[in-house]
């Protein structure tokens, strides 16, 4: 779940704390695999939300999105964002999937007090080459950002790596919502922008944990918040894609905690 930038203290996690986050990540990777099986035309986003909540709670974890925030609190266990919806789409029994829809599904959970957070984007029933390239490039942007999250590097290196992928394809990069630190809270410091200048920003250290989550668009990067207080859409109506993994920084590099 992307967040607006804010400032708080950065925490270093101990190995036993990262182990709890890894278990949360394993639960979420199972949810993503279920989405991959269950996504098809005719499904509603409420169906997908029910699947995720049942899997998370049956594993002994807590959905981290449900009840999150205020004015109003988020009402579901996943974010389901369709087509021009970038992030934080609210699942509904009235939101049925159709062939050709692009859907981003974002899900988080808490295991023994520790969070993991991840997202993927799919096309329902296949995509045009143009749309598939947007989805694939957004995933590659996430992977490039993760690869740059090395101890001794800086947060600007992560943002620059992601931004380079978007610029290569002339995609918009959603700037108001960014990646974030994660641990005992879903959104911790530092903010991890999906753009930046290499060699700048906070130095990355072993024990830090981040959610890396680029959001690319086929059009401009301007976004609008809908009246529901949560759903963020592209201002020009262009399609968007969103990928996210939770990672822990080790002495040897990034360790993806939400990998399959």
212-229 pLDDT tens trace: 999 999 999 999 999 999
- What's the rounded Cα separation, in Å, for the pair 129 and 78? 28
Grade residue 5 by pLDDT with cuts at 50, 70 and 90. very low
Say how many Å lie between the first and final Cα of the chain, rounded: 19
Residues near 22 by beta carbon (within 8 Å), at least 6 away in sequence: 116, 248, 257
Grade residue 3 by pLDDT with cuts at 50, 70 and 90. low
**Top-level CATH class of 15-256?**
alpha beta
Residue 116 pLDDT > 70, yes or no? yes
> What percentage of the chain reaches a pLDDT higher than 90?
94
pTM, entire model: 0.95
Q: How much is the pLDDT for 179?
A: 98
Q: How much is the pLDDT for 126?
A: 87
Cα separations in angstroms, 14 against 88, 154, 180, 251 = 31, 21, 18, 13
- Tokens describing residue 211: 């959610």
Q: Which residues pair with 217 in a beta bridge?
A: 172, 240
Residue 2 pLDDT > 90, yes or no? no
Residues near 232 by beta carbon (within 8 Å), at least 6 away in sequence: 81, 85, 86, 87, 88, 174, 176, 177, 223, 224, 225, 226
Segment 179-195 shows an average pLDDT of 97
Look at residue 43 and give its three-state secondary structure.
Answer: coil
Q: Quote helix, strand, coil % in the chain, to nearest 5.
A: 30, 30, 45
Q: How much is the pLDDT for 124?
A: 97
- Tokens describing residue 27: 């639960």
- Tokens describing residue 129: 């080459």
Q: How much is the pLDDT for 14?
A: 97
Exposed e or buried b for every residue in 153-184, given b needs 16+ CB within 10 A?
Answer: bbbbbbbbbbbebbeeeebbbbeebbbbbbbe
- What's the rounded Cα separation, in Å, for the pair 216 and 133? 11
Grade residue 7 by pLDDT with cuts at 50, 70 and 90. very low
Say if CB 78 and CB 34 are below 8 A apart: no
Neighbours of 199 (CB within 10 A): 10
Q: How much is the pLDDT for 4?
A: 57
Residue 169 pLDDT > 60, yes or no? yes
> For residue 72, is the peptide bond before it cis, meaning its omega torsion is within 30 degrees of 0?
yes
pLDDT digits (tens, 9 = 90+) for 86-105: 999 999 999 999 999 999 99
- Tokens describing residue 122: 């799919």
Angle between helical axes of 155-169 and 129-147 (0-180°, round to 10) = 160
- What's the rounded Cα separation, in Å, for the pair 257 and 158? 18
Q: How much is the pLDDT for 178?
A: 97
């Amino acid at each position: 779940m992307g967040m607006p930038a804010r400032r708080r203290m950065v925490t270093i996690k101990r190995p036993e704390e990262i182990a709890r986050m890894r278990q949360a990540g394993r639960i979420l990777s199972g949810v993503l695999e279920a989405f991959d099986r269950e996504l098809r035309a005719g499904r509603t986003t409420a169906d997908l939300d029910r699947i995720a909540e049942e899997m998370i709670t049956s594993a002994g974890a807590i959905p981290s999105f449900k009840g999150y925030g205020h004015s109003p609190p988020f009402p579901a266990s996943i974010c389901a964002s369709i087509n021009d919806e970038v992030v934080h789409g609210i699942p509904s029994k009235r939101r049925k999937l159709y062939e050709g829809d692009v859907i981003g599904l974002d899900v988080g959970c808490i295991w023994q007090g520790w969070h993991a957070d991840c997202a993927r984007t799919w096309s329902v029933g296949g995509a045009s080459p143009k749309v598939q390239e947007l989805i694939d490039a957004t995933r590659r942007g996430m992977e490039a950002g993760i690869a740059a999250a090395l101890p001794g590097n800086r947060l600007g290196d992560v943002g620059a790596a992601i931004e380079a992928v978007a610029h290569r394809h002339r995609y918009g990069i959603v700037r108001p919502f960014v990646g974030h630190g994660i641990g005992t809270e879903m959104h911790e410091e530092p903010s991890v922008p999906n753009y930046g200048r290499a060699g700048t920003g906070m130095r990355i250290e072993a024990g830090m944990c981040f959610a890396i989550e680029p959001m690319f668009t086929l059009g401009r990067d301007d976004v609008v918040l809908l009246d529901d207080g949560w759903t963020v859409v592209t201002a020009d109506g262009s399609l968007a894609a969103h990928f996210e993994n939770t990672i822990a920084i080790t002495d040897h590099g990034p360790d993806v905690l939400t990998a399959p």
